[in-house]
Structure 1
Amino acid sequence: MTTSTTLRPSSQGSRLAAVDALRGFALLAIILLHNLEHYNIFYAPMQRPEWLQWLDAQIVQIIYFIFAGKAYATFSLLFGFSFFIQLRNARRRGCDFRMRFAWRMLLLLAFAEFHSLFYNGDILTLYAVCGLILIPASSWKDRTVLLVGSFLMLQPWCWANIIYALFNPDYIDNNSLFMQYAAPAEVAGRTGDLLQTLASNLTDGWLYSNVWQIEAGRLFQTPALFLFGMWLGRKKFFECSDSSRIFWKKALFVAIIASAILYPLKEFVPQHLTNITILSYYSIIAGMIYNFFFMIMLVASFMLLWFHAGNAGYLWQRFITPFGRMSLTNYIGQSIIGVACYYHFGFDLWDKTGAAETLLIGIAIFMALLAFSRKWLATHSQGPLEYLWKRATWIRADRNGAGRSTAAA
């Protein structure tokens, strides 16, 4: 039976299955990456047959090449799109969603703190903070949205440090403040019991996650992707139309050319940079922009395939749609399951599994959560955490009997 006959239809009439499917694939890629990294316990067992070491190396290379930095970027792009849908639906009901969205981001921060208890690689805190840019941006013209998004994507802080280092050769910044928090957080995962791990995640783990994201350039990349996602929503490019097909074909062409140009700049130029400060910040700039265009290439290909199937997607695309509809539930759920698999307080598999095994574990986690999503959505319009988030977002509006949420989660 197809998804449409087994799942309860969403109450959100404007929801796009293509976006849910794309979000589901981005989250699947995130799961595979997290498992490959043992949820931030970085370790590769060496006492393995030569053929298995070769297989591990191939898996690492392929997954990182295709998904590293791109899955997160796709997830962020669709966050901005979801804001647009919520804003549009609220305006149709005569509601001003902007302050409601600020409250929604505060609620997301609460989900982030819960998630951070278990996993020291949380992205929701960054989302809750960077999402606030969408409030003023909702009144900007399309051109302004693109200009500000492009400016942020170019990593102005990194460029400022590079320029400063050029005029001050003695200035040294290897952009690795996060390491002082990463080491004890990893030790807690390798050796700590449950309470020790939770305590570490609230201190060193929280700082590790968020300081790393700032130093890795995500403080600028994330709001840029939010803005681009909102712009795509305004232009209706996730909806099937001739203009959407033309746009994604052009985007695919540009992304292929840009990726081909940026790849050698990312891979080979750093080898010739001797100044540690310039090397550090140049690597962030080149890597971020390359990943952005590679991500556009993946998203454009996905959307063109969806449209080619008659705006219903291919079976392999529709198959994952329920997983994307419950993205918050599944994002937090996969972290809890994952750390229980690899951390010392759980099954303690961090030093017993190579890339081949973690790939299978990641797929198993995905399949379990997909089965749960399908079963849950057969009788509910939203996932459990999505429902709580929506109800809390509109709690006073519901009480007053006005402005009830039908916006996409």
Structure 2
Amino acid sequence: MTNITLNLKSPRIEVVDALRGFAIMSIMLLHNVEHFEYYHLPENFPTWLVALDKIVWDSLFFLFGGKSYAIFALLFGFSFYIQNDNQAKKGNDFRGRFFWRMMLLLVFGLFNTAFYQGDILTLYAFLGLLLIPVVNWSNKAVFITAVILMLQPLEWARCIYYILNPDYVAPPNLSNAYYESIGYYMKHGSFIDYVIGDLTLGKTASLLWSWENGRFFQAPALFMFGMLVGRKQLFTTTLATNQFWSKVLGYAIAFFIPLYFLKTYMVDLVTRVTLSNKLTIIFASWSNVAFMLVIVSSFVLLYQKESINKALSKLVPFGKMSLTNYIMQSMIGAFIYYRYGLGLFEYTGATYCLLIGIVLFFIQLSFCTWWLKTHKQGPLEYIWHKATWISFGKK
């Protein structure tokens, strides 16, 4: 009886935990170099350090900007598949419980927002609900829907409108005014001012920015692609999956190069700012996803090499505790850089912040490794799991 019960649950796939750990690590490094969105250039730095800061900033955002988030979104959809599949094997409908799980994620996201207004958990909590109606669709239907979303149809519709109306000038992004308002309490506020501001102005600004930059279409598309990756068992190690990821790597590189060029030079190619801004959003979205696939496919293929696996597998505990780590980094980072804490935003450029981020990563990694020696889940993962399966009076 015990063996039958165990077989009903899909085993954890180690490479997924390691990849999730890599995504959280790179998100942490990015958040550090931008002072957790408290943008400030320290004065009186020597010329060589200013130049080094620029190299560090540009390199990290080239490697991880928009890509780490995309990896996280892909794995979010994969995790949904695993959870739904486990329940389906037991004859349970997971959709209602998943809705409740997303409401819990919303609570975690709002808590995280109190420290860092750029939180993505709240966005995932809302957009994750779009997985509910498509969960029983065929692979073909899910794939077509994901492709349509990934194409950024709203932005293309706007481009067509702009072309048909050559005199139209788009108004400034709504998020701009909110970000300007954020600057006031970040410069002069207390901890309470930060919390209130982040949960109101900051959260509004973050959601508007996501809407204005195509994240409301890109994220659900990646969720659905992640679900398909799960259905196709593409994270398992077989000859067929190795061939698949090798092809993905080749195609992703081939697509990334022209897409990155178009994103970078769109302003020069299309002189009308109203139109070039929207085209830049489209090609930036595609470029980021293409490079994300380069990272994912390379990671999966390298993970199978014994010498490299020893290093990459160290990320597994970090990935297993991704929720704990994501929120913990916001709390620690806010204290380090914001005025109500140490206020190091005034004294640190990208290079120093990268070093701080690396130190924080190793501290968190050590904590995760120690914690999981005696616990099956991280503390917040445990709370989320227990709350997900709380009884609502049904027997």
If the length of structure 2 is used for normalisation, what is the TM-score? Answer: 0.95
TM-superposed deviation, 1:190: 2.8
Q: Which residue of 1 aligns with 2:243?
A: 246
Q: Deviations over 1:115-142 (max 9, x none)?
A: 1111110111110111111111111111
Contact 2:262 2:280 in 1 (8 A): no
| Separation in structure 2 between the aligned mates of residue 383 and residue 189 of structure 1, nearest angstrom | 31
Aligned with 1:164 (options 161, 168, 183): 161
Contact 2:10 2:82 in 1 (8 A): no
| Separation in structure 1 between the aligned mates of residue 199 and residue 264 of structure 2, nearest angstrom | 36
Q: Deviations over 1:205-259 (max 9, x none)?
A: 1111111111111000000000000000001011111111010000001001001
Q: Which residue of 2 aligns with 1:70?
A: 67
| Separation in structure 2 between the aligned mates of residue 261 and residue 281 of structure 1, nearest angstrom | 17
SS in 2 for 1:118: coil
Aligned with 1:344 (options 339, 356, 364): 339
Q: Which residue of 2 aligns with 1:332?
A: 327
| Separation in structure 1 between the aligned mates of residue 177 and residue 283 of structure 2, nearest angstrom | 25
Please show how residues 76-87 of structure 1 align to structure 2 within 5 Å.
Answer: 76-87=73-84
Contact 2:266 2:276 in 1 (8 A): no
- My pick for the range that moved more, 140-149 or 216-225, is 140-149
| Separation in structure 1 between the aligned mates of residue 394 and residue 238 of structure 2, nearest angstrom | 39
TM-superposed deviation, 1:269: 2.6
List alignment gaps of at least 5 residues for structure 1: 1-11, 402-409
| Separation in structure 2 between the aligned mates of residue 348 and residue 356 of structure 1, nearest angstrom | 17
Aligned with 2:85 (options 63, 83, 88): 88
TM-superposed deviation, 1:175: 5.3
TM-superposed deviation, 1:93: 1.5
Aligned with 1:97 (options 94, 99, 103): 94
| Separation in structure 1 between the aligned mates of residue 171 and residue 361 of structure 2, nearest angstrom | 36
| Separation in structure 2 between the aligned mates of residue 365 and residue 215 of structure 1, nearest angstrom | 32
Q: Does 1:145 align with 2:107?
A: no
> What residue identity is the alignment partner of 2:214?
G
List alignment gaps of at least 5 residues for structure 2: 1-8
| Separation in structure 2 between the aligned mates of residue 93 and residue 186 of structure 1, nearest angstrom | 51
Contact 1:41 1:190 in 2 (8 A): no
Q: Which residue of 1 aligns with 2:6?
A: none
Q: Which residue of 2 aligns with 1:9?
A: none
Q: Which residue of 2 aligns with 1:286?
A: 283
SS in 2 for 1:277: helix
Q: Which residue of 2 aligns with 1:3?
A: none
> What residue identity is the alignment partner of 1:26?
A
* Alignment size in residue pairs: 388
| Separation in structure 1 between the aligned mates of residue 306 and residue 152 of structure 2, nearest angstrom | 38
Contact 1:174 1:280 in 2 (8 A): no
| Separation in structure 1 between the aligned mates of residue 187 and residue 372 of structure 2, nearest angstrom | 36
Q: Deviations over 1:361-386 (max 9, x none)?
A: 11122112111111211111111111
> What residue identity is the alignment partner of 2:79?
S
Q: Does 1:372 align with 2:345?
A: no
| Separation in structure 2 between the aligned mates of residue 186 and residue 335 of structure 1, nearest angstrom | 18
Q: Which residue of 2 aligns with 1:184?
A: 181
If the length of structure 1 is used for normalisation, what is the TM-score? Answer: 0.92
| Separation in structure 2 between the aligned mates of residue 298 and residue 269 of structure 1, nearest angstrom | 25
Q: Does 1:40 align with 2:19?
A: no
Give the direction of change, closer, same or farther, for the CA distance of 1:25–1:248 in structure 2 (3 Å limit): same
> What residue identity is the alignment partner of 1:182?
Y
Runs of 4+ that moved beyond 3 A: none
Q: Does 1:306 align with 2:306?
A: no
> What residue identity is the alignment partner of 2:254?
I
Q: Does 1:361 align with 2:380?
A: no
Q: Does 1:385 align with 2:385?
A: no
Q: Which residue of 2 aligns with 1:258?
A: 255
TM-superposed deviation, 1:396: 1.4
